[in-house]
Structure 1
């Protein structure tokens, strides 16, 4: 049996011992020799992802052999969340009876098809799980217009690598930070409500240097939230932000960003695993936040970047419009951050991305990950206006405008 749709050729083929599988344009979704053995091996080799977990998140359903193996190897109280944007393949698999046992299982929740709700559900599931089981053939045959899913998974994997690298340091920071007298982020949000009032979010991209005069004009008239890395530059130019945010676990956050500014009376909002030296030494108001559901407090979606954490806080206080400054997400004038010498490095694998002026700019996978996260956040908040006054990459959903042109509108 074959199905021709959207220029794809989808076939049901017989493997060894009459065990069927599906091919999409010649790509096998399961082994053509022994798909059941392949599924068992795959599940057992990834047991660190689901052992003792309440939920297991999977991308790709295919013919379901790996899902059946997962159900056999997980605890009876473990829920299986399955995502697959390929509705066409799912329908063929379902029609041929591959998935009956899975669909009828009360432990299984299935999200099929490409839509905002499923994208949001996947993002939420990833934010609350240790890892994801990816059935790579399902991802491989996905059509180009559904590349969002590949971006979401890639972003998750990038953040997972960072967490893995600093996991012990983050745990140490968490234990120390929980001893520091501070308030929860809920208090900051309640006291700084900006319902339908503008805010400027200052990241530390190189184009920040180009708008310092406009920032001086707006200083004291409009709220300014800044990432820790931008603090020194702002203070040197007589601009004291209304909030500083840090999330990174390493000591240089203190020595390169907050040292010398410990007595500022500016609220410091910090992730629970942020560098404990910075948190301990800062004497101003302090507010702790978590990037997971914890202790009944408001969760802040960090996107694994301090600039994205600041964005989520701005959204939660009701600011509108939200204006990005220094959020370049690419190399601008051969730099990634303000105040640096040229820092384009030869040992990094670069990507290219469309800039706000139509030019192609160099960027990295990490910066692309932050860009995708910001764009998803914008999509999730259609009633908020976002304006990109940076000079780097285009941000979908945030029209690019010259900061000087909108300054008079903000006063």
Structure 2
């Protein structure tokens, strides 16, 4: 739990927003305070509480250069610099969130950048943070006229859809700067920076000379191919446990979390810690002392999973969700951004049947989250194998007609499905995690 009195003191005794700081070190703290419209980012740096500078927001000299640093390990932060003559506009903020503007003499910028590199901010470019994630700059004129632009490969994109190819990446950047300058002359001002997935190849940003290097996460073990559906369940759980422990940032498995001891880890991925904890109270830490067990006689691999492990709730930072089928747990903010949520009685099909009148859906057993975004799965009760396994079908609230029934002899056991699904998710997630660390 954060020390609210300390944050109030850093804010000069003024009110604060009671949420954990997004950056908290001995000499640098980024936290929030309320204002008339939304929460405002506050930056306390080296003993000074920086104030938002309206002049910096409106400073209109031409841009002569840009530098952008990123820290995607938790709260998705950035430091963005526009050189404008002998002045520079310094923006510090949360990607797709609040930011703080300040005018700084251009000659002071290199020392500031070195400071943030030492704090763990990673070198990017003003147009991409990795080869797979590009930077979107969003502008506003007045209160309602918006325009966004980003460079992806050798193309400029306006509004995500209008692509203008160029002869080279350099030409695309030059064209983008020209468009930005024209928009600024027309009264547009930058108000938000966010990331989006790349559609084209982009260069991998290289660290500046002298930047502290981060040790790469250790490589994971090789898991033996499971001999049966029960071993497949155990192996899938072991893979999740390994990634949770080996790369302890950017994600977590709720069943392995001790919130009292690991609150910061939870908050770095899901800021609404109190709500998240209440919502998933029964799942948190439930694997702490769990080990693989002996399957019961005629026990299905699904029943084995429920008896031994009970649930899976894998929570991701949105910075590492590229190519992962992600959704909000429970379809509610604060439930956690997940690519894998498995539990019994996740969804009430009776209410769906009542709302749609489609009685074909009433016996489905939904066991995976994401039913509102075509990410869910359900057991089909129309067939069952001799070992009690049932077919697995995709599920969504918009489902109107069940797929053709599966023959009992062709049913894939839940354990084998889980192992294949988790193997694919873990491989993708580890790639994403390594890119942002």
Give the TM-score of the pair, scaled to structure 1: 0.24
Structure with the higher fraction of residues in helix conformation: 1
Structure with the higher fraction of residues in strand conformation: 2
Give the TM-score of the pair, scaled to structure 2: 0.23
**Which protein, 1 or 2, shows the higher relative CO under an 8 Å CA cutoff with sep ≥ 6?**
1
